[in-house]
Every structure is written in structure tokens, then in C-alpha cells.
Amino acid sequence: MKSVYDNCGVFAIYGSDSCAFEIFQGIDFLQHRGQQYCGIATYDDGVHQVTHHGKVLSSFTDQDLDSLPGRWGIGHVSLKERQPVKWQSSLGEIALAFSGNIMNAASLKSDMMSRGKAFWRGYDVEIITKIILEEQDPVAGIAALAGTIKGAYSLVVLTREGVYAARDIYGLRPLILGQGPGKYIVCSESRALINLDLAVVRDVRPGEIVRLDHHGFTTVRQLPSPRRAHCAFEWAYTASIDSVIDGLAVLEARYNLGARLAQRDQEEGGPRADLVAPVPMSGIGHAIGYHMQSRLNYQEVFLYNRYADRSYTQSTQIAREKMAKRKLSVLHYAVRDKRIVLCDDSIVRGTQIFNKVHDLKQAGAKAVHVRVACPPLMYPCDFGISTRTYEELMARRYLYRGDITSMAELRELERWVADQIGADSVKYNSLDDFVAALRLPRTDLCLKCWDGRRPMDD
């Protein structure tokens, strides 16, 4: 199994004016979804494209943007590869960008190669494009993906007619429509719309194919959707706290998750603590929710380095550890002689939370009680997050062959994790509490990281 899958964001626009700068702004607002690569493609008598290895603000120049004429275009940020990709075809020049992961990529590539298809690097985006281009028009090609690939995708396709946008039939990856005066937009998260003073219209439905052109939004095909299966990890970690994903505000979800942790502590009579603090940045909403429920004082105990990247979405373990060390430094004055409830979104490998607990105790903390918004991660993700193998998952190292089937088993795991990371106690949300906090039907969520069930296998 690959140790890293793609984690990325897409942005597309059709408007009445030159669009390159607005795409530049849009993908900058999606930078948290991938910090390794970025790219823009526009259409003006053909596709014009610029991609970079690096972040949006530090990579794109005024000269780059001047070289991207056209009133419609697409943009992308990624952890793994340069996108958009540009192709010459019987449909004319096109460009494509997507967010997600193809689980059956190896078998699809092998089949295509046996039929004479050639690949540059074998990226998932190449496979998707070749499937689309085997059909007579973009709509038929995008529709063919649903019956061919296993996995998750939100994608945008740039053509001479406009931009096509589509979401997989389960809605695993987010995609949302917005508009402003004379312009129509689709992107991975609503924050890119809100921060550009654009109006949110609605989420793209699972299995929906939408065209953006001078008529606005047109649903050109609605594929049957067996069920919704939105990635629950979006609300716990991936998405920005100022986004709304499929009708649920990310900040509300994180407040609820933190409140559930506080409720459990209240019911179980502990711990004695002086303050609640987050592991920035993704732990902030959870810690505030814990504070609002418990009324325990909220206090920052780490200074966040705004110039650092998200450590979880680095491409290697060495890079993750280096970034984690750069990202946070302890506020010694706030920590000394304090008993701290420390809230985080999840524990994956355990290395980073071990270091944070150690740093707090070295700075004089009397006790550190770790509270984790997500249940113990038991299965690798197949659908697009910077993911893990079984061997990397801390909880799986403890329960090597089984799953958590009771609160008693969860408590045993928590005691073991606390011992491993040097914390005075550890508590996770149970899966039932996690789902209840999101306030969405369990059948509308992908919970594969916790229960091992793929939506397409139900």
C-alpha cells in the first residue's frame, strides 16, 4: 500500500473578466488542503497553464498571471503532484484537476497499457483524463468514471465550452458552487467563496455533473447515487474552520466534538485541571467546545508559527516531524505549575502528541490530560487524505487483530496510549459520540478510518 495519497483542493471560475488573479486568490484560500504544488490553467483560444512546486503566494509571479489570459479557468493545490494537467485531444485542448484517490489505479493502468495507452508518471489524474477522453464528449467521459474507478473524486475540467465540475457518486470529497456579479465558481470549500465576497449557492450533489458557462450553472447529468458518504474527517481536521461542508459548519462540528469530550469527563468525574488548551491549529475548535461545556478556563499553551505548514499533510514521516517541531513552541509562563487538558483532533502515529506532552512537562506543567476529538484511528484511509498504513496507526498497534467493541475496551486502549505518550490520562470520543456530535445521519458519512467499512461495499 502507498504510504501517501493525494490531499488537495480545486477551484474553477467562469466569468465576464480575466480570471487568473481570482483563481490565484481562490487556491490560496485552499492552501491548507495541500502545500507542495499549485497550478492554474485558463482558456483563451486554447489552454494556458502554469504550475509550481511550492505554495501559491510564494510561487506565482505577476508575469505568471499575465501569461494566463481568459475568462474561465481552473486551479489546484496539492500534496503530491502538479495539476492541472493539459491535454490535446479530439475534444480540443483541455485541462483537468481533481481531489481524491483511485483505489484501483494499478489495475486500470495495466489494462490501459495492454490496449496501447502510454503514461508519463502514472498519476491518478492521468488515468482519469484517459477515461474521459475515450468518450465522445466531456459529459459522457465524466459519467464513465463512476462505472470504472473505485475511489473518491471532486474534479474540474477546463474546455472551450466552459468548465465542467463533478463529484463522485458518494460525495466523499467536498465540492461547492458559488457566484458573484457576472461570475460562477466551484471549489473544494466555501471559505474560498466567502473570503472573495462571493455568495454560496449550494453543494454539488453526489454524482452530479455541472457545467459553468455564460448561462451560469447547468446540471448536465445526474448519476444515480447509492448513498451519501461524506468524509467525516473533513469536519474533524481537513477543512478550514470557516468553511461549511454539506450544510454543516466546520466550527460547529468541532465545538460539538469538544463538548462531547467534556461531557464524558463530567460524567466520569475528572480530571482536576486548571485550564483547557488546544494543539494548534486543528485542535482550537475542539478545545473551545470543551471550554464552553466544562467552563474550564481556556488558555493557549503553544505559540503557532504562522510560516509553518500542516505537519499531518507532509509527504514523509521525517518531514512531518521536522514541521511539527517548527510549528509549535511552548508558552512557558502559561504552563508552569498548571494541570492542563490538551485537546487535539486525532492521534495517528503518536509521535507528535508524545513530543507535545513532553514539551509541556519540561516547561513545568503538573499534569497533561490529552483529549482527542476523533475515535481511535483503526484503518488506513482509501479516499484522499494523507494516509497511514496499518503499522503506523498507534491504536492498531495495541489492538492488532481486533476492533473496539465496548467502552471497557476503549478505556483499556486509552490507558495504554497515555502510558505510551507520557500523559496523565487520555480520552477519545467514542464512534457513537463522534457521529452524534456531527449531527448528520450515520448513513451519510464515510467512517472507514474507524469502522473499516467502505461505502461501496455496503
Q: What pLDDT, in 10s, does the model give residues 263-290?
A: 999 999 989 999 999 999 889 999 999 9
Confirm whether residue 343 is marked as ligand binding: no
Q: Look at 40-49, 119-128, 206-215, 225-234 and tell me which has the smallest mean pLDDT.
A: 119-128
From the centroid of its chain, how far is CA 437?
Answer: 19
Which residues are CB-neighbours of 371 under 8 A, at least 6 positions away? 258, 261, 265, 286, 290, 341, 342, 343, 344, 426, 427
Residues of the chain with pLDDT > 90, as a percent, come to: 83
Q: What pLDDT, in 10s, does the model give residues 203-246?
A: 999 999 999 999 999 999 999 999 999 999 999 999 999 999 99
Per-residue confidence band for 307, with pLDDT thresholds at 50, 70 and 90: confident
Query: In a 3-state reduction of DSSP, which class is residue 218?
Result: strand
Q: State the residue for C-alpha cell 475568462.
A: 71
The predicted structure's pLDDT at residue 437: 98
The predicted structure's pLDDT at residue 327: 82
Per-residue confidence band for 313, with pLDDT thresholds at 50, 70 and 90: very low
Give the Cα separation of 357 and 377 in Å (integer).
20
Which residues are CB-neighbours of 139 under 8 A, at least 6 positions away? 164, 209, 211, 220, 221
Query: Which of residues 369 and 380 earns the better pLDDT score?
Result: 369
Mean pLDDT of the region 244-255: 97
Give the Cα separation of 356 and 362 in Å (integer).
10
Is it the case that residue 80 has pLDDT exceeding 80? yes
Give the Cα separation of 242 and 373 in Å (integer).
18
The predicted structure's pLDDT at residue 181: 96
Confirm whether residue 344 is marked as ligand binding: yes
Distances (CA, A) of 451 to 150, 153, 171, 405, 448: 19, 21, 19, 10, 5
Confirm whether residue 337 is marked as ligand binding: no
In single-letter form, the type of residue at position 283 comes to G
The predicted structure's pLDDT at residue 144: 97
The predicted structure's pLDDT at residue 386: 54
The predicted structure's pLDDT at residue 6: 47
Per-residue confidence band for 3, with pLDDT thresholds at 50, 70 and 90: very low
The predicted structure's pLDDT at residue 382: 83
CB 41 within 8 A of CB 47: yes
CB 242 within 8 A of CB 192: no
Which one of the listed residues 8, 38, 187, 374 is annotated catalytic? 8
133-146 as b/e: b if 16+ CB within 10 A: beeeebbebbbebb
Kindly tell me the burial class for residue 191, based on how many C-beta atoms sit within 10 Å of its own C-beta (0-12, 13-18, 19 or more).
buried
Per-residue confidence band for 123, with pLDDT thresholds at 50, 70 and 90: confident
Handedness of CA 420, 426, 432, 436 (dihedral sign): negative
The predicted structure's pLDDT at residue 389: 82
Give the predicted TM-score (pTM) of the model: 0.92
Q: What pLDDT, in 10s, does the model give residues 164-206?
A: 999 999 999 999 999 999 999 999 999 999 999 999 999 999 9
Is it the case that residue 4 has pLDDT exceeding 80? no
Is it the case that residue 452 has pLDDT exceeding 90? yes
The predicted structure's pLDDT at residue 383: 84
Confirm whether residue 449 is marked as ligand binding: yes
8 is catalytic: yes
Long-range contacts of 406-410, Cβ-Cβ distance < 8 Å, separation of 24 or more: 410/376
- Nearest CA among 404, 449, 399 for reference residue 430: 404
Residue 401: other Cβ atoms inside 10 A: 5
Q: Which helix (H) or strand (E) holds 159?
A: strand 151-159
Which domains are seen in the chain, by residue range? 8-226 (3.60.20.10), 249-443 (3.40.50.2020)
Q: What pLDDT, in 10s, does the model give residues 331-367?
A: 999 999 999 999 999 999 999 999 999 999 999 999 9
The phi-psi region of residue 124 (left if phi > 0; otherwise alpha if psi is between -120 and 50; otherwise beta) is alpha
Q: What pLDDT, in 10s, does the model give residues 377-429?
A: 999 988 865 556 888 899 999 988 789 999 999 999 999 999 999 999 999 99
Mean pLDDT of the region 21-35: 96
- Nearest CA among 63, 35, 33, 34 for reference residue 50: 63
Distance between first and last Cα of the chain: 22
Q: What is the mean pLDDT of the chain?
A: 92
Distances (CA, A) of 283 to 35, 304, 371: 20, 12, 10
